[in-house]
Structure 1
Amino acid sequence: MTDDRGRRKRRPRFGSEPGLRIAALFVSDWGHEFESVAAGRVPSHRLFGMRELGSLGHHVVHHTRPVTSRLTRRVGWRVSQLWWLLGVQREVDVVIATHEAAAVPALLLRRLGLIRRPVIAMTVAALDATSRPGPGGVLQRTALRGADLITVFSSSHREPLARRLARTAETVRWVPLGVDTQYFSASTRPRDGGRLSVGTNAGKDYPTLMAALRPGEQLVVVTDAWNRSQARESADGLDVSFRSDVPITELRELYARADVMVLPLRECEMSSGQTVLLENLALGTPVVISGVSGVADYVDPSIMLVVPAGDPSRLRQALTDTSWHDRARRGPEFVARRFTVEHLASALEAIADELVARRG
């Protein structure tokens, strides 16, 4: 069932056409995120489409019991969540793991026949994880081969991941990353915040951004410790402020006031830059972004400015040219047509329906 925007229509949870019963797996206890989304404090895409699947008429359950074992918090959570899944699997139709790290324990038991429900593994960095040497890479490859279906947020990752796992391309699907366009909606605030760059993980290329700046040009960078260390090596003499762990409400305000969002990216085997790109487009913020394969599904040169990756000269030109900034006003419509969290939920719903129907 779809509406005139290509999204799945809401259907009744009970009755002649009951919704699916879905067990959602997370990398850590995500109960606080469900509460924060319900209260409007954070965007719903932090739940990876699980709230919107509920709005479509499905019943989504997740584990929230706190971990109190002497094991490390990460291992303890995985054991606790897996034990919970073993107990509830008879009551659900399908399992959706919202990250490859959340999927691994369930998939290992799936391969052993102990998890009997179809498992969808949503992945962010599966290409990177499965390329690791030694036991870690073996574990990731072994587990992901047990998934009934794997999703990626970059279509460029489909075939390489399928080859690495010896799977058919049909069992690795692209789904659109989507953002909460109620939380990130077109802004009328004055654009007086200067240049801003936001993002973490190894897909960022802050040294190229530092090389593109001239002395006296101001920039605020919100990133992690590793990227900050990489950038600072080439930031001497530049007017660059580094920040970390900025609350999402404050980050939204920074986006809304930025003159331009700069997303310097490098080719890598993980999803990088997509969320920040879509959040800023939804706000109508002008975006300069590196043209790497991982974001190709989300890029429209008629709305944003796309520059070659690793080219400080072209990036410098883009930062000094403001003539194209009016294009960003089309950003909210671009996101609303294709990249909302409802679109993500609809894609997951279609996959789940397919797997459940196949299982009979």
Structure 2
Amino acid sequence: MQWIVATPFSRDEDGDWITRYVGGGARFVTAPALYVHDRSRAASGLSEWFDYLRHAWGAWRLVRAAPRGGAGLLTGFPQLAVTAALLKLLLGRSDVPLVAWCFNLGRTPGGWKARLARAVLRQVDVFVVHSRREVALYAAWLNLPRERFVFVPLSIRDEPRETREDEAAPFILAMGSANRDYRTLVEAAARLGLPTVIVAGTHATAGLSLPPNVTMRRNLAIAECHDLCGRARVNVVPLRDTAFTSGQVTVLEAMMLGKPVVATRAAGTEDYVIDGWNGHLVPPEDSGALAAAIAALWDDPATRARLGEGARRTVQEGTTFAAVAPAMAAVLDAAQARAARAPRPAARADASERPSG
């Protein structure tokens, strides 16, 4: 089957993603994203939703150009899942398998938004989530069977490089904006008195009073973030709401560089950070426990090296694009099988199927 790929980071056919490593009979065609997806913003506005809808429509045009039964749709991030599912409903194409990869919400709204989500997202054949807790959470919210939700580890492009800790001026590093609990981190940093760098958007740190040992940085390029991560003595991912996933990219990119992570125990960290093997997990909103975990790593280079080795192996063996490709292949097969069981749409030829002349 031919799969039309619509993700905000897809620009052309040469992009390196999981699809490159999926074998078998699956073929992939990219519906290019013609906009910039800012993952640091707190919410999507009207103009952003228009971008997602236009992108989803471009993907559906490719689906409709294929022979009936010959194409499916693979989206990335919830916004494209919603817009693609809406178009599937309006087009009456229950025969087209739709996979929502990286279905990760920051919250599950109620009221009319929940009713709309349930009506539209029933069109998704398989939801791929990146924490085990999300399976029950989203199944209950959308009133759908749990088997429609599949846990697959979040994957990242494996870009290992030699890193060297800044021994002359060591520091603690925390990066990211989504769902971050920087208040608890600042309390822990004030207690420790150790140099600490926070890289985050303004909405993630609003209202914080910073002690002299905490520095704020913003608007850094990815390469600059990776450089800071490699030079930091301790990388920290403090999270606020433990029910929703966030912080996995930051966790995995630090692990990719062989750096252990101190993170809040939450959905989105407990599936990747194994306490004492590749990092440490601490209770939420506990500045004392966070400070103790940071101090333990700060003063123990041997433990940092051992946990860093475990962190690197975690990425190599379980969260690279190649490592998760077999799971993606199974998801696509499941979606195709479910769509094949769906009621056939009413006899109506698409433009691509009408006889010419």
The interval holding the TM-score normalised by the smaller chain is 0.7 to 0.9
Aligned residue runs from structure 1 range 72-91, under 5 A: 73-90=47-64, 91=66
What CA distance in whole angstroms lies between the structure 1 residues aligned with 2:174 and 2:332? 36
Match of 1:197 in 2: 174
Give yes or no for the alignment of 1:214 onto 2:195: no
Question: Alignment partner for residue 251 of structure 2, among 265, 277, 280?
Answer: 277
Match of 1:288 in 2: 262
CA apart distance, 1:113 = 4.7
CA apart distance, 1:99 = 1.0
Match of 1:145 in 2: 122
Question: Alignment partner for residue 320 of structure 1, among 275, 295, 312?
Answer: 295
What CA distance in whole angstroms lies between the structure 1 residues aligned with 2:316 and 2:25? 21
Match of 2:279 in 1: 304
What CA distance in whole angstroms lies between the structure 1 residues aligned with 2:56 and 2:289? 49
Alpha-carbon contact 1:186-1:332 (below 8 Å) kept: no
Relative to the length of structure 1, the TM-score reads 0.79
SS of residue matched to 1:300: coil
Alpha-carbon contact 1:78-1:102 (below 8 Å) kept: yes
- The AA in structure 1 aligned to 2:279 is M
SS of residue matched to 2:58: helix
Match of 1:158 in 2: 135
Aligned residue runs from structure 1 range 55-204, under 5 A: 58-64=26-32, 66=34, 73-90=47-64, 91=66, 93-115=71-93, 116-126=95-105, 128=107, 131-181=108-158, 183=159, 185=160, 187-192=162-167, 193-202=170-179, 204=180
Aligned residue runs from structure 1 range 232-251, under 5 A: 232-233=208-209, 235=210, 237-251=211-225
CA apart distance, 1:180 = 1.6
Alpha-carbon contact 2:282-2:290 (below 8 Å) kept: yes
Relative to the length of structure 2, the TM-score reads 0.80
Give a deviation string over 1:113-144, Cα, whole Å, max 9, x none.
Answer: 5334110112443371xx31343333223222
What CA distance in whole angstroms lies between the structure 2 residues aligned with 1:249 and 1:57? 36
- The AA in structure 1 aligned to 2:314 is F
What CA distance in whole angstroms lies between the structure 1 residues aligned with 2:20 and 2:201? 28
SS of residue matched to 1:88: helix
What CA distance in whole angstroms lies between the structure 2 residues aligned with 1:195 and 1:56? 45
Alpha carbons of structure 1 residues 197 and 119: separation in structure 2 relative to 1, 3 Å: same
CA apart distance, 1:265 = 1.5
CA apart distance, 1:190 = 3.5
Match of 1:10 in 2: none
Alpha carbons of structure 1 residues 81 and 251: separation in structure 2 relative to 1, 3 Å: same
- The AA in structure 2 aligned to 1:62 is T
What CA distance in whole angstroms lies between the structure 1 residues aligned with 2:254 and 2:188? 21
Task: Flag structure 1 segments of 5+ consecutive residues without an equivalent.
Answer: 1-19, 39-43
CA apart distance, 1:217 = 2.2
What CA distance in whole angstroms lies between the structure 2 residues aligned with 1:144 and 1:344? 24
User: How big is the alpha-carbon RMSD for the aligned residues of Structure 1 and Structure 2?
Assistant: 2.6
Match of 2:343 in 1: none
What CA distance in whole angstroms lies between the structure 1 residues aligned with 2:58 and 2:241? 38
SS of residue matched to 2:239: coil
What CA distance in whole angstroms lies between the structure 1 residues aligned with 2:89 and 2:106? 20
CA apart distance, 1:153 = 0.6
Alpha carbons of structure 1 residues 311 and 267: separation in structure 2 relative to 1, 3 Å: same
CA apart distance, 1:194 = 1.6
